[in-house]
Structure 1
Amino acid sequence: MAAGLLVLVCAGAVLLSAEAQEPYEDLPESYRQGVDLALEQLNSHAGVRFHLRFLKSLEKREIEHGFRVKYLYHRFHLRPTSCPKNTPDPNPQRCPFNKNRPLMDCAVCYKTIADQMEATPKPYVHCIQRPRLTQDMIRMREEQFSKMHYKTGAPTLLALSSR
C-alpha cells in the first residue's frame, strides 16, 4: 500500500515538473527580446515597485512573411520578486518570487528581420495585473497583432516566374 502511494506521489511530481515554468534562458532569442522590452517598459513605470522576472509563456505565435521577416506574438506571465525594482542585477536565489503579489499578464507583438526586433512598425506591449485582465483587452491585443502583419497579397520574388 505504501509503495503504491509512493509511486503515485512520484508520478505526480513528474507531471508537475513537466508543467513547470519555462525559464527565460530556454526562450528563443527572438522571444527573449519581447520579454526584455516588456520588462524595460514596466521597470520605467513609477507604479512598479518590485523587480519582475519571467515566469512562463502562455501563447507564442509567429507569422513568416519570407526573406527572414517574421511577426511575433508572445503572451506570458511575469511574477514580482521580493526585491525592490532598483536592485542591480537581482539573483533568483536572493530575490525569490513573491507569491503574495499578482502576476503580470503581458502580450507583445513585433516584427523581426533575421531574428532582430525592428523599430517599425512600432512594437506593441501590453501588461496588466492578471486579476484586472478583461476579454476586451485580450481582443484588443489580438487586433493589434492582426494589424501588424497586414497581408498585401503582393507577390514575392519566389513567386515570380521567368518566361
Structure 2
Amino acid sequence: MAALWLLLFGVGALFFCSNAQEAYNNLPETYKKGVDLALEKLNSHPGIQHHFLFLRTITMSNTEPGFDVSYIYHHFYLKATKCQKGTVDSTACQFRNDRPLIDCAVCYKTFGGEIEQEPKPYVHCIHKPALTEEMTVGRVEHCNRMGYSSGAPTLLSSKGTK
C-alpha cells in the first residue's frame, strides 16, 4: 500500500512540475522574451537564492504602430521553486509556498520579434507584499512615456489579452 501511495505521489509531483512550465509555454514568443529578461535581471541579484518560474499573467498589452514594430507591456508573477538559483533544467522544480510572489512589469520595443536596445527595456520586479500603489502607477507611466517618446500610441490604451 505504501508503494502505491509513493507511486501516486511521484506521478502527482511530475504532473505539478509540468504544469509549472505550461503557463510559460503558452505565452506568445514576444512575451516569453520579456519574462526571460525579468528572470535574467532577478537572477543577477545576489540576494536571490532560489530558482524562479513564471506563474501567471496579470495584464498584457501591445501596440503595433506598423513596420514590424511592437511596444509590449506585460505584468506577471514569478514564484520561487525548491531548486537552487542557477538550475538549468527546471522540469523537476516544484513551486514553494513559503515565499512571496515576485510581481514584475516589463515593457520594451520589439522589431521583427526581437527586443530592441533603444529605448532601453524597462524591468521592474519586487516582492508582492512590498509593491505600493505609487510603484504601480510609476510602472504604467514609465511604459506609456516609452511609447510616446517614439511617437507610438500609449501601450495601455491598446486592446490586450488577459
Q: TM-score higher than 0.5 here? A: yes
Structure 2 residue corresponding to 1:127, chosen from 104, 107, 125:
125
Are residues 1:101 and 2:99 paired? yes
Structure 2 residues not aligned, in runs of 5+: 1-18, 153-162
Deviation at 1:87, TM superposition (A): 2.4
Counterpart position of 1:50:
50
For each residue in 1:60-80, what CA deviation from the matched residue of structure 2 results, as whole angstroms up to 9, or x when unmatched? 011111111110000000000
Cα distance, 1:90 vs structure 2:
2.2
- 1:95-152 Cα offsets, whole Å, 9 max, x none, are 1000110000000000011211111100000000011100000011001111110164
- The aligned residue for residue 140 of structure 2 is 142
Matched AA of 1:106: C
Whose RCO is larger (CA < 8 A, sep 6+)?
Answer: 2
SS of 2:75's equivalent in the other structure is strand
1:1-163 matches, cutoff 5 A: 23-91=23-91, 94-150=92-148, 152=151
| In structure 1, distance between residues paired with 2:147 and 2:104 | 19
CA shift for structure 1 position 86: 2.5
Measured on the aligned residues, the alpha-carbon RMSD in Å equals 1.7
CA distance in 1, matches of 2:87, 2:144: 37
Name structure 1 gaps, 5 residues minimum: 1-19, 154-163
- Provide the secondary structure at the position in 2 that maps to 1:56: strand
SS at match of 1:77: strand
The TM-score, its normalising length taken from structure 1, stands at 0.77
Q: Could you tell me how far apart the structure 2 residues matched to 1:88 and 1:118 are? A: 26
Q: TM-score, normalised by structure 2?
A: 0.77
CA, structure 1 residues 116+49, in 2 after alignment: closer, same or farther (shift >3 Å)?
same
What letter is aligned with 1:134?
T
Q: Percent identity among equivalent residues?
A: 49
1:137 partner letter: M
